[in-house]
Structures are given as structure tokens and as C-alpha cells.
Amino acid sequence: MLRKEHYHLILFCLYSYIYSMTLSFMNMRAVSVLGSEGSIVLFRTDLLPYVAGCLFYAAIRTLLSDKALIRKNFLTANAVSAAMPFFIMLVYTDNPAVFNLSAYILMFIIGILCCDVYLKMSHLFVSFSKTGFYYFVGASAAILIQYIFQAFIGNDNVTLYSLILITFITVFFELALGNGTTVTPDEKPEDSDKHSFNPEFKKLIITAILITICLELIGNFLTSSLIILVSENVFLTYSFPRLFFIFSYLLMGLMSDYKNMKLIPIITLCGMILGILNPIMFGDARYMGLNTCIYYVMAGIANSYLTLVFWKLAGKRRLAPFICVMGRIIDSIFSSIFSGQLLSSLPLPGIIAIELLVIIFMVIIFTYSGQLFLQDKPEAVTLSVRRCTPEEFAGEYGLSEKETLVLAKALTFHGPTTELAKELYMSRSVLYKHFNSICNKTGQESFAGVKQLFYETPGESISESIGESNSSKEYGEEDISIQEMSPEEKLEQFAKTYDLTDNEKKTLALFIENQDLTQNELAELRGITLRTIQRHLSSIRHKTGTASLIQLSSMYNGN
């Protein structure tokens, strides 16, 4: 049975294929329909309707977020369905006006699909610990499928049929998701959330925007030259070096899941430094293949940065529909501005000097912004006052019961997050999910900021250091020690922590007591079908973040 994250992965892969295939195929067809000069003009302008589509859907989603039209994905599904006749016109028309109109409408529709899919992925980033890996799988699969279709088949009709087929599948998955992708009531941003755009978050947004502009400037030195080569049929956009995108997607995707993206700025800078080789080797036929491989590695890193970072920043904020596609919008606008012969016509020393200055500027920006995302071990912050209990703090910021439990324990816990997860009877991935949710609801960009916000609220004067709190006993009396509970209390607390239903709780109790039995035997003991018992166990593993029944048993028993 497919879970919500699997639907999102498939949708992201389908969107990536439609976007990449449409753009490259449209640009190649433009040469025969519009000529080399006309195709260069199209290169400059075809991304602007794409931006308009993103902004249109973001505005609709923000204004009508509670409407059934949005909740059931009807708008996106119908828009994507409308793309099919324009795919046909793109392939068969030789009329420049019809071709341009078809291209612009298609890019507008793809912009709508982009915002919808990116919004789903940004929501997934908040609650799922492997979103970066899913990004790698989806983007890489799209690149491989496109390469196979264009490099080995290379037929316009086959390309058309593949686009129509993928479009049908996309519509199916959009409708299949239904209202399962909407923000649940306890996760939905509050209208009165005054902390959504605090100074720290604004600094992160400005940093990401400036870095995206820098990446676009560096990348377009070679892109502008490749555009000319494509228009002259010297370079093929589906050639083998394009597969080097996959290496970048793998590196950036995995690193985005590692320690909350700490290494992403370093990898991005290294990729841009590598990109300096592009203008040096460009024009030398001996290095055309190597240079193109380097370009695709650099482009993959840049594309991953402007995608993953804005997904992370968007989360489930009220303006998430705009934030999640902000990287794509900036990239598209500056691609249109920088495309053409202006950059590639600069002398080589000038190009290298500009790239070095841009990289130095990026280093300054990253240094100024400091640690962009959550830290594993927040440093101690000495504070002088606090006012509220964890329960009062949770009530003020709308934290759930589980998040309140995590907050209360984390405020007084001394040790690594692995031990904290064991104390709370949950996996590290689930613990980080709660950390992320608490940070989003309080408007903080790190759990250290949450602690600081908790202790900075005015009230009874005390002198303490976060991480060396003297109030351990006060909150410690409220902590629940699962190891000292009776089996019934232990099961009840576990079910409460992970939101298990009554049926799931009964199945879990039976499984824990009879781990030597098969699932068929468990089903007979419970008096339910094997399919039902499997569904219960799968749901329990999903809620607890465990990969297997063995891991579930180990986590339940505190090992």
C-alpha cells in the first residue's frame, strides 16, 4: 500500500520529467520552426509563463486553502489535462505563432504543477526524515527516463506519446491523493502567528535569495553559450553528460538529510568553485565532453540548492505556496535576463574575475547567516528569567500533547539526542520531526531558539543556564519514566505518544506478548483477517518511524 510520501515521490518524478522533457524538446523544435535567431528569443522568454503559473497557483492556494477545489487537487489535475492538446500542437505545427502560443501555455500549466508538487514536498520536509533521498530518487528517475526516450528512441511521435502518457499518470496521482495532502488542523499555520516572519527567518530568506541569484549568475556564463550551440545543432541537450545531474542530486539529496543540511553551503561553494573551469575550457573541442560534465554537476548542485533550501524554509507556513517555489521563480527570471550572447561574449579574464567575485560574495553571505538550520546539540545559553511551565508555553503556541511532552523532557535533559529519543520512547527521526514542528509553530529556526524563547518570557527571576538548568526537579516530577510503568500503563503511554487507535493498540499488545507467532497466527488470535493485522502493524511502524517489526519491538522494550 502506497503511503503519502510515496505518492509525493511519484508526483515529483512525474513533474520533473514533464518539465525537463518539455523544455528540452520544445527548445530543439524551436530551431526548425523559428530558426536559430527565433529559438534564442524563445530561450529568453519561455520561462516567464512558467513563473506566472507558479505565482498563479500560489495565490490561489493561499487564498482558497480551505476550499474543496484545492483540497482534492481538481485545479491541478484539470490544468494538467488541458496540456495534452498543446503537446500535440508543439510537435506537429510549423506555424511560428501557434508554436509560440503552445509553448507559453504549456509552460504556464507546468508552473501550476510545479507549485502544487513543491508545496507537497515542502510539507513532507517537515514530517519526513528522508525527503532529500526522495528528491534524489525522483529527480534522477526523471533524468534517466528522459535520456532513454531521447537518446535511444529520438522520435518526435514517441516523445509526444510519452509526454501524454506521463500527463495521464500525473492526473491520476493528483486525483488519487485527494484531500490527503492538505495540512491537518493541528498542523495548519495559525492566522495570528506573529513569529512566522521573525528577523531570523527573514535573514534566512534573504540569504537563500542572494545565494540563488549568485548561482544563477555563475551557471549562466556557460548556459548562454550552450543555448547558442543548441540553436546551431552543435550540442544535444539529451547527450550522455546530462546523466551527471544524478551525481549532484545524490550528493545534495543525501546531505540535506544529514544533520539538518549543515553541509549544503560547503557543497554548494565547492560546486561553484569547480564551475570556474567552464569558461576556461569552453571553445576547445578536446574538452567539450569534460566541460559539459562539469557543467551538469555544477547545474545539478545549484538546482538542488534552490529547491531543497526553499522547501526547508517553506515548511507549513501560511505563505508556503510562495516560499517553496521562490527558488524556481528567481532561477527562471534570471535565466531569462542572462540568456543570450551577452555573458558568453565577455573576455575570459573578465568572466573568471566576475565568477571569483561572486564566489567570495557567497562566502560572505554564508558566513553572515551563520548556521542556517537546526543543530543537533544546541549550545548552552545563559538566561535570567522565565515565566511559564511547558504546558502554558504549549498552550500559547498551539503545541500538541506529544510536542509538549518532548519540550518538557528536552528542557531538562542532559545528553545526546539518541538518549533523549530513548527516554521519550521514540526514534531519532520522530524526535526531529517533533523538534521541527515545535520550531515552526514558535517561529524559531533551531531548538536552541525555542529554549531561549521559553526562558526569556518575563516572570519569576532566576539565574540558570540552558543545559545546566536548576529546575530539573520541578519538571522531572512531571516526566514519565516508561521503564517504571506497569505493562498496561506502558502500553497506554506508548499508544498515547504515537496516536495509535484502539485497534492498533490491541494489535500492538498482542504482537509484543507473542513475538514468536506469525502474522497469520496473530490474526487468528485477534479474530481479524491477515490483511487487517498487516495494515495495523504497517500503520504502527509508520507512526513510530520504525523500519521493521524487530525495530518496533526493540524500541518498545527500550533497547
144 against 555, higher pLDDT: 144
Residue 502 CB contacts under 8 Å (≥ 6 apart), including other chains: none
> DSSP secondary-structure letter at 179?
G
pLDDT number for residue 417: 72
CB atoms within 10 A of CB 544: 21
User: Among 107, 18, 108, which Cα is nearest to 56's?
Assistant: 108
| Displacement of CA 268 from its chain's centroid (Å) | 17
Whole-angstrom Cα distance, residue 158 to residue 160?
5
Mean pLDDT of 144-159: 71
User: For the whole model, what pTM was predicted?
Assistant: 0.61
Cell numbers found for residue 300: 545539478
Give the whole-number percent of the chain exceeding pLDDT 90: 0
Residue in the structure block whose three cell numbers are 543548441 = 230
Q: What is the pLDDT of residue 463?
A: 36
Share of the chain above pLDDT 70, in %: 68
What is the tens place of the pLDDT at every residue in 123-138? 777 666 677 888 888 8
Radius of gyration of the chain (CA): 26
- pLDDT confidence of 229, banded at 50, 70, 90? low
Dist CA 141 CA 305 (whole Å): 19
Judging by beta carbons within 10 Å of its beta carbon (0-12, 13-18, 19+), is residue 545 exposed, middle or buried? buried
DSSP string, 201-265: HHHHHHHHHHHHHHHHHHHHHHHHHHHHHHHTTSS-TTSGGGGGHHHHHHHHHHHHTSGGGTTHH
Q: What is the pLDDT of residues 51-108, one digit of tens each?
A: 998 899 888 888 875 555 555 566 677 777 777 777 777 777 778 788 888 888 888 8
- Mean residue pLDDT of the chain comes to 72
Say if residues 399 and 447 touch (Cβ distance below 8 Å): no
The residue extents of the domains of the chain are 4-369, 382-476, 484-556
Phi, psi of 398 (to 5 degrees): 70, 35
Q: How far is CA 46 from the centre of its chain?
A: 25
Please provide the DSSP assignment of 285-322 as one string: GGGHHHHHHHHHHHHHHHHHHHHHHHHHHHTT-TTHHH
Q: Can you tell me the distance from the alpha carbon of 206 to that of 365, in angstroms, rounded to the nearest whole number? A: 10
pLDDT value of position 507:
87
Pick from 176-180, 254-258, 369-373 the range whose average pLDDT is largest: 254-258
For 271-304, the pLDDT digits (tens) are 888 777 766 555 555 666 677 777 788 888 888 8
Right CATH for 484-556 from 1.10.10, 3.40.1000, 1.10.3430, 1.20.120 = 1.10.10
Q: Between the CA atoms of 377, 380, 383 and 388, what dihedral angle is there, to the nearest 10 degrees?
A: 30
Encode 249-284: b = buried (16+ Cβ within 10 Å), e = exposed: bbbbbebbbeebbbbbbebbbebbeebbbbbebbee
Q: For residues 544 and 115, what is the distance between their CA atoms, to the nearest angstrom? A: 30
* pLDDT higher than threshold 80 for residue 266: yes
As beta bridge partners, residue 385 has 461
Residues 323-371: tens digit of each pLDDT: 889 988 988 888 777 655 455 566 767 777 888 888 888 888 888 776 4
User: Above 60 in pLDDT, residue 39?
Assistant: no
Selected residue with higher pLDDT from 411 and 387: 411
Across the strands, what pairs with 465?
382, 468
pLDDT of residue 48: 86
- Determine which of 140-154, 161-175, 193-207, 253-267 has the lowest per-residue pLDDT on average: 193-207
DSSP β-bridge partners for residue 423: none
Strand, helix or coil at 383?
Answer: strand
Over residues 437-470, the pLDDT tens digits come to 888 787 776 676 677 677 654 434 333 333 433 3
How many whole angstroms separate alpha carbon 548 and alpha carbon 511?
A: 13
Q: Rounded CA gap, 263 and 304, in Å?
A: 13
Quick one: pLDDT band at residue 510, thresholds 50, 70, 90?
confident
> Which three cell numbers mark 343?
555573458
Torsion angles phi and psi, residue 406, rounded to 5: -65, -45
Q: What is the pLDDT of residue 126?
A: 67
Helices and strands, counts by H and E, the chain: 27, 2
Q: Using one digit for the tens of pLDDT, what is the confidence trace for 388-404? A: 677 777 777 778 888 88
> 120: which 3 cell numbers?
507537497
Q: Return the CATH number of 4-369, one of 3.10.20.340, 1.10.150.110, 3.40.50.261, 1.20.1250.20.
A: 1.20.1250.20
What is the 3-class SS of 97-149, one letter each residue? HHHHHHHHHHHHHHHHHHHHHHHHHHHHHHHCCCHHHHHHHHHHHHHHHHHHH
- In the predicted model, is pLDDT for residue 8 greater than 70? yes
Mean per-residue pLDDT for 36-64? 76
Residue type, 205: I
Question: Could you tell me the three cell numbers for 121?
Answer: 514536498
Q: How far is it, in rounded angstroms, from Cα 334 to Cα 212?
A: 10
Look at residues 31, 165, 166, 22 and name the one whose alpha carbon lies nearest to residue 89.
Answer: 22
- Count of other CB atoms within 10 angstroms of residue 217: 19
Q: How many CA atoms lie within 13 A of 340 on its CB side?
A: 11
Nearest to 540 by CA among 517, 514, 515, 509: 509
Q: Is the pLDDT of residue 321 over 80?
A: yes
- CB 336 within 8 Å of CB 220: no
